[in-house]
């Protein structure tokens, strides 16, 4: 369906494809990834494959100085929490960030991240947290501590659906890229339900109905070449990195996750719409 951008680096490029459909789902995406443009494109492409029109606002952390994107350009193209504080949104998506090895308190925007969670409770119908954001939100919401791993969890994992809910409709397994230096323990609280689990990579998708939040340990939005590009980047930095697992066929990257990502996000959008309509 149609993705309309309210702001962002891709807004002008996609202007001709924009829609003003009144029924479009209103989303805000907090983009914590270093390459803002690449991450915008990944999410736009995923959202465009869904069965519902969406309107997207991109947001940044005001307390973080980007090292990879010109700050003036970022301020011109992204909003902050203060800019939208009194607005309501159907959905919130918070991306991952390459800070898993840091203690949460050592992340320079940690206080602001917690402010986003407080704001979510009053102004958002449904939320998705991905990768580091999932680890961080689970710590805030349920006291679940991430576990830093000696070796990066890196590759594509096909994981088992272990709870049949509207969020897992049409899915028996879920294939998803993982690129992280931490994993999650099994939740020991009744407020959190594991929906998708992997014997090697741990919990993959978790749900918290009370917070209307979904925690995803990987990157459903990744494009076919993203993992190999990350591998080459880490190699250039001199980091010890293994080739991504379960990713190649005849030495070429193969995208085995896109359809599962579309189903998962479509299920989430259906829940967003259901909750929104119920509150009209």
Q: What DSSP line would sit under 54-77, residue for residue?
A: EEEEEE--TT---SSS-HHHHHHH
Instruction: Tell whether residue 152 is among the known ligand binding residues.
Output: yes
Between CA 263 and CA 251 the distance in angstroms is 28
131, 181, 197, 230: the catalytic one is 131
Name the β-bridge partners of 56: 5, 27
Instruction: Tell whether residue 207 is among the known ligand binding residues.
Output: no
Between CA 267 and CA 276 the distance in angstroms is 14
Is 252 assigned a catalytic role? no
Question: Is the distance from CB of 97 to CB of 32 less than 8 angstroms?
Answer: yes
Between CA 187 and CA 83 the distance in angstroms is 35
40, 77, 130, 219: the catalytic one is 219
Is 131 assigned a catalytic role? yes
Instruction: Tell whether residue 179 is among the known ligand binding residues.
Output: yes
40, 130, 197, 221: the catalytic one is 221
Q: Tell me whether residue 2 is exposed, middle or buried, using C-beta atoms within 10 angstroms of its C-beta: 0 to 12, 13 to 18, 19 or more.
A: middle
Which segments of the chain are extended strands (E)? 3-5, 25-30, 54-59, 89-94, 124-130, 147-161, 173-183, 193-198, 202-208, 213-216, 248-249, 252-253
Binding residues, as ranges, are 152, 179, 233
Residues labelled catalytic? 131, 219, 221
Binding residues for substrate, as ranges, are 152, 179, 233
């Amino acid at each position: 369906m149609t993705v309309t951008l309210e702001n962002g680096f891709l807004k002008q490029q996609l202007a001709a494809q924009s829609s003003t459909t009144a029924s479009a789902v209103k989303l805000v995406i907090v983009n914590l990834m270093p390459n803002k443009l690449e991450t915008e494109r990944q999410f736009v492409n995923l959202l465009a494959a869904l069965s519902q029109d969406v309107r997207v606002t991109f947001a940044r952390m005001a307390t973080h100085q980007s090292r990879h994107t010109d700050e003036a350009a970022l301020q011109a193209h992204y909003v902050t929490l203060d800019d939208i504080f009194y607005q309501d949104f159907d959905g919130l998506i918070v991306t991952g960030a390459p800070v898993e090895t840091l203690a949460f308190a050592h992340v320079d925007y940690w206080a602001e991240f917690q402010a986003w969670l407080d704001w979510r409770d009053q102004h958002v119908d449904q939320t998705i947290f991905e990768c580091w954001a999932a680890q961080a939100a689970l710590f805030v919401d349920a006291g679940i501590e991430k576990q830093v791993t000696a070796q990066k969890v890196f590759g594509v994992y096909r994981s088992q659906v272990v709870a049949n809910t509207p969020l897992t409709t049409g899915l028996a397994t879920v294939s998803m890229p993982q690129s992280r230096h931490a994993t999650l323990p099994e939740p020991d609280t009744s407020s959190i339900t594991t929906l998708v689990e992997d014997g090697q990579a741990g919990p993959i998708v978790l749900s918290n109905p009370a917070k209307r939040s979904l925690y995803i340990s990987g990157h459903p939005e990744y494009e076919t070449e993203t993992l190999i590009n990350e591998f080459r980047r880490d190699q250039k930095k001199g980091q010890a990195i293994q080739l991504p697992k379960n990713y190649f066929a005849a030495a070429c990257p193969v995208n085995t996750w896109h359809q599962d990502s579309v189903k998962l996000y479509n299920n989430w959008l259906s829940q967003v719409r259901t909750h929104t309509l119920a509150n009209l």
